[in-house]
A and B are shown apart, each in its own frame.
Chain A
Amino acid sequence: MNPVSLLVFDGLLLVSIAGLAWASLATTDARRSVILFMAFGLVLAVAWGRLLAPDVALAEAAIGAGLSGALLLAAAHRQPRPLPPASTNAPRNHGAAGVGVVLRWAVTLLCAALAGILAWALLHAFDSAPHDMLPQAISANLATSGVSNPVTAVLLNFRAYDTLLELAVLLTAVLGILALGPATPGYQPAGPVFDGLIRWLVPVLILTAGYLLWVGAHAPGGAFQAGAMLAAAGVVLRLAGRSRIGLPDGIVLRIVMAAGMGVFLLVGLSLLLLGRPFLGYPPDWAGSLILLIETAAMLSIAATLLLAFLGGRPESTGDKAAAKRQREAIS
């Protein structure tokens, strides 16, 4: 592609990104805002592809636009009417209409000033040549990392500590969600067309998850994208009104939730016992250890994202029986 048409493409892409973001935030209709945000995420995935970041593009399309969109849309659906004005006379709670025009302009000007300062700092930073010591170190050590995709090598070998803590963040977030109450009520059973579609779609999603997990070692893909695909299978089943969406029950669910972090920690600590640094894999085993950790991480990520979509503690069969006994005891 010649440089001019590429520049035109960049311009169109960036105008759509900024335009969709603006449109999504300018409306006060929650559902419209969420749908525009999902479109924004999908266009952003094209931008990641343009900037040669296919791993990020996959994750953005599956997680950023897909699952975030599903979460937000479900929340917008539950909230059809606007908030009733709070009875307290705190003007900030009265919403956009209550905020004075002066304050709105002041905030807008401040945000514009922030954008200006950021842009200035950015241009200043771009002015100096990039110090490419880190990428050089990565390509020099890629052979010993056990994988040939540099992004996977950074995530699970060179900076494995970050990913371990990321799994801890996921676990903490899902524990918070579970602590906040029971799951949202399920959906109506799907019609024959959607029901027929999910019979085809769910196996394909599970297969794609397995493929992405395996291919992450040498091409774009990995545990995050694979976990998002598995979670998407569960979300589709839930939307179709199925009561069983592939989430295990009781203690098994707890084990699956903690598996990603648990296996990661076990591998790290076992290596310490063998006299190696924490998470410093021996080059011969690195590939297998990374696959082991990624498999556990994929299951944890899928369970976490699915629980996040449920929005609370799923009603297990044990709970149902207990609730029934309680109702009988009362009556």
Chain B
Amino acid sequence: MDNAAAKKNIAQQLINLIATTCTLISGLSLVTLTLTFGWLVYGRYILNSTPTWVEQLALLLIITITFLSSAVGIKERTHLAVDILPQMCSPKVQLLFRIGCDLVLAGFGLLLALMAIELIEFSWYKRIPLLDIPEGIKYLPVTLSGSLLVIFSLNNIRNSVARLRSPDCNKRLSNKSGED
């Protein structure tokens, strides 16, 4: 394996690791979310003391799940899309459509990350009631999601360009992850 190919392989592995970590964090958040609601019901009916912090924590967890998983969805191409026009074109043109879409997504990710940083700064000194932590924390997953959108989209572009240069660029593209 030459040096460039080895570097490419390491970069891909790193991106896979980031995606797996995000899925793991989202998964743990979902399990925590489920258990805290179980605790809420248990507290209300068995302990006669409703844990009031559950609602605020749940909202933090759902933001985490949403923004991290949706960013991973870009890497794995699992988002709902209406790709009627690209499907009617040749595989090469389809790849160009994909590159265009990934560029737009990278731009959107950058904007999301920058705006979310501003929101963090703006709301850092406010406190989330009952949890007593800075409100800015709820925008952290958004910043992370925006940055991940940039990374995953650029990685998708790199893969599409590599495919465009390869001899099998005329093979039909699959919408499944890892198949392009």
Partners in one complex: no
